[in-house]
Chains A and B, each alone.
Chain A
Amino acid sequence: MAAMIEVRNVSKAFGGVQANRSISLDVAKGKITGLIGPNGSGKTTLFNSIVGYHPIDEGSIKFEGKEISKLRVPQIARLGMLRTFQQTRIYGKMNCIKNMLISVPHRSMGLIEIFGDHSAQELEKAEHLLEFVGLYAKRKLQAGDLSFGQQKLLEFAMALMNQPQILLLDEPTAGINPTLINGLIDRLKRANTEFGITLFVIEHNMRVIMNLAENIYCLAHSELLAEGSPETIQKDKRVIDAYLGAH
């Protein structure tokens, strides 16, 4: 399967602290790829490097064969790569519907279109997606009044509204009520199969990532430790050691 994102030998340091050291990985098109690792192993740094939040020290990042390591966040977003945040970022003072309508894909919009009204289709789609994540009943509430878990779901729905080619999710289940996690796993899978969106997921919860991803990369101490299917990763001694802290 072709790689949608190719990361090659990417290194990034903050001052004297090496956050990523020569990391190479592929995110396969149309699949769900996982990224795991203990706290502080450099997962979010790698995400930020890919989506353009900071410059990388060395290496190359390609998206659909195009070098993006010099591009900035808005440019990368317009190529169709979106991310959600560990701490959710939604528009708290607007209602859920408006949050969804803001998220219509702007990359294809011409100068005239930005002065248009939101179409009935867009509204329909916004409501449909809110229903997909289970927030339809709350669609007219201020997004800021939702619980943390609900805001996370809203942010996920906003990302889907944007029709990205690939979605980078930073710990989608953190802070979500455990009884809702199975439903979320199911929705992530459906986003992948029904909407055809490639997913690249950072996850702490082992059970979630093992259920979700087809291929998993594990970071530890700023380096790539292991790669493989959930079964291989689960049995990999180095991964177990990294999580248990045995060294």
Chain B
Amino acid sequence: MSISDHELDRRLESLPRSCQPPDAVWQRLQEVLPDRMQALPADQSGRTPSRLGTRRMALAAAVAGLALIGTLLLLPMRPLQDSALVAVPPQQTVREAAAPAVGLQRSCQTVEAATAENEAAMRALEAALKHEPGNQLLLEFLAEARLRQADLNSTATRLAARHNHDL
């Protein structure tokens, strides 16, 4: 016999919503907080010298991050290519009018591809950060990639809703 809804609500209500802030997390956070006031020159930043391999990996991840952000910035423009704002041959317009879900499906595929690219970039950035935890550029790219992931999830939801509506 299962417990009642009332009993479950009562027990859920009694669960604590706060606790002591973990000191260990703050200690780690302090070590990686960048200085908002001034950027130190590279030779005074306190970072330990990196090995060449580590630097190459960090540089590759940074380039991948830049390329990814550039690609993702173009993403919102892509659906325009499926709209009437772009000059398309009449035959193509008729085809798309006959199958309105095709453009939408293409947008969904684009978002899925962007999500996969974003996840791959996050993996590369995290791997690079393991070797060079203090690299501010990599941290910034990783933060942007994570925010972008949330945006992509929202976009996927909207597209799925439109897809369901059209069906």
Q: Please say whether chains A and B are actual partners in one complex.
A: no
